[in-house]
Amino acid sequence: MQAEQEVILTVAGLKKIETELDRLRTVNRKRVAQRIRESMQMAGELNENSEFEDAKNEQAFVEGRIDELRQILAAARVIEEDEVRTDSVGVGSIVSVKDLETSDDWEWSIVGTYEANPAEDRISNESPVGRALMGMTVGDVAIVEIPAGRAKYEILNIRK
């Protein structure tokens, strides 16, 4: 992650990152340190000790993730609840849409890139669908280029 790049987070996203960072610092670090100590006590040379190597790899992962989360928090701009508008789509909005091709209804939360999780209907404001929806109002139709072609979504509702 580039240090100068702004990271947009919702309040819920900020809390999730802070919780993960706290867990990594207090729980995972201690657990990995204990694994390393135990593996060092195992018989054999350390360079042939697979448990030691696994523990060191896990330590590198944990420390890397801690560093990544710290960088995200340092670059974060948190969208407060009172900044989320309901007259047009923006980060923090929950948008109800109708797919005009299939007549399927969808409800998506528009979030920053680091909070996106399509399986949970949380789409990034930088994704093709998110970009197309940004700034739209109820009744507008967003046309989105997707891998399967072109999708048309009518905005049915915008809420917090």
One-letter amino acid for residue 50 of the chain: S
Strands 76-79 and 7-10: parallel
**More confident call, 53 vs 132:** 132
Burial profile 101-122: b = 16 or more Cβ within 10 angstroms, e = fewer: eeeeeeebbbbbebbbeeeeeb
Domains of the chain, start order: 7-79 (1.10.287.180), 85-159 (3.10.50.30)
Measured between alpha carbons, how far apart are the two ends of the chain, in Å?
29
Say what the pLDDT of residue 24 is: 98
**Residues 57-116 pLDDT 10s:** 999 999 999 999 999 999 999 999 899 989 999 999 999 999 999 999 999 999 999 999
Query: Over 90: is that where the pLDDT of 5 sits?
Result: no
Q: Say how far apart CA 125 and CA 83 lie, in whole Å.
A: 15
Task: Indicate the pLDDT class of residue 146, thresholds 50, 70 and 90.
Answer: confident
**Residues 15-51 pLDDT 10s:** 999 999 999 999 999 999 999 888 888 755 555 678 8
Say what the pLDDT of residue 15 is: 96
pTM: 0.79
Say what the pLDDT of residue 39 is: 84
